[in-house]
Amino acid sequence: MIPDLRFDAQDILATLQPWVLCESPTHDAAAVNRMMSVAARDLALLGATVETIPGRMGLSDCVRARFPHRDRDRPGILVLGHLDTVHPVGTLGSLPWRIEGDRAYGPGILDMKGGNVIALAAIRALAAAGIETPLPVTVLFTGDEEVGSPSTRDLIEAEAARHAVVLVPEPGQPDNGVVTGRYAIARFDLEALGRPSHAGASPHEGRSAIRAMARKILAIDGLSDADCTVSTGIVSGGQWVNCVPTVCRGQALSMAKRQADLDRGVERMLALSGEEDGVRFTVTRGVTRPVWEPDAGCMALYEQARALSEALGQPLPHRSAGGGSDGNFTGANGIPTLDGLGPLGQGYHTLEEHVLIETLPQRARLFAALLANLGAAGRA
């Protein structure tokens, strides 16, 4: 069944604008919690029972919303999204909310506030039309996805285990595609500890942690190959320019299509630890996302989505994608998961982040069709 629903791009943008204007970088828990409050209010207006789950590790709270349903205890649909972004507070100064032609700009608009809003638009339209979804619907919004979900992985996996399927409205693929698998990802903390001395009077007596880190960064870059990439993304060191720096820290990221390749990359990274020329270098493994490879349940879910999309006049190719999402956890745990259901656009994680406006109603229509059809065959 394809519901006869109408979605207006301007209506979706009107809801999306306050979400984008509420800046929510991951490490600013208070800012993300303000965004959680905006989302919680919109969910409550839709009739959901909304609860706040306290955060931990210094990160934000989460919001879980359950919608009324006559089969509330039946395993249903989990809509899984995150409200944190990579953009610090103040980014609106250089990336303001604006409409230019067929594009809408703003921090986090594509990754992934736009996708979260189109999911809510689909729920709203179905309710307004009096269409009950075959399966109960729960929405879970988290606030640490951009740093690997260290404080919410257990919550995500526990909530997903109580559901039949997971829908993730992360950005869609450029050819109107969706995501049916994601690469494995590992993060690493790097630390170089050198020897202090006065940088002007006795530089030869010191051992620079920054210089050692720079050499290690080149070694880390050299580890990348076609099957496993490694890159250093954060470096900080030193305190006084007239002191040989004794501490330098950084963070690196490794990504691979297959778990075995990631495991090999992890071994090579950890092997960089050791002491050389008076500087101790340590690599510590951080948070990890497991590889998500599509199984039969995932592909059956995709095939249903593809049929619905084609009935709506849009092709729906699929692929495994680089870059992690919380779908890594649910898909790897064998729960049928469909990712990349959000709008299309470009430039996420940059000051050119935007959505293509016409894809907001298009993707909302597909999302509504999924909610209206998943589980219909088994309903009494």
Burial of 328 (0-12, 13-18, 19+ CB in 10 A): buried
Annotation marks residue 221 as catalytic: no
Of 254, 255, 287, which Cα lies nearest the Cα of 272? 254
Q: Which of left, alpha, beta for 93 (phi over 0: left; psi -120 to 50: alpha)?
A: alpha
Question: Within a 10 A sphere around the Cβ of 248, how many other Cβ atoms?
Answer: 24
Catalytic residue among 28, 42, 61, 84: 84
Of 186, 75, 85, which Cα lies nearest the Cα of 142? 85
Q: Cα separation of 179 and 308, whole Å?
A: 16
51 bridge partner residues: 64
Annotation marks residue 145 as catalytic: yes
Of 149, 281, 263, 146, which Cα lies nearest the Cα of 210? 281
Catalytic residue among 28, 61, 144, 145: 145
Answer whether 146's CB lies under 8 Å from 323's CB.
no
What residue type is assigned to position 201 of the chain? A
DSSP string, 254-267: EEESSHHHHHHHHH
What residue type is assigned to position 312 of the chain? L
Q: Cα separation of 57 and 332, whole Å?
A: 24
Beta strands in the chain (DSSP E): 49-53, 62-66, 77-82, 98-100, 103-105, 137-142, 165-167, 178-182, 184-193, 228-237, 247-256, 274-276, 279-289, 318-321, 337-338, 345-346, 354-356
Q: Cα separation of 16 and 120, whole Å?
A: 10
> What is the distance, to the nearest Å, from the Cα of residue 96 to the centroid of all Cα atoms in its chain?
22
Q: Residue 161: helix, strand or coil by DSSP?
A: helix
Answer whether 167's CB lies under 8 Å from 119's CB.
yes
Residues annotated catalytic, as ranges: 84, 145
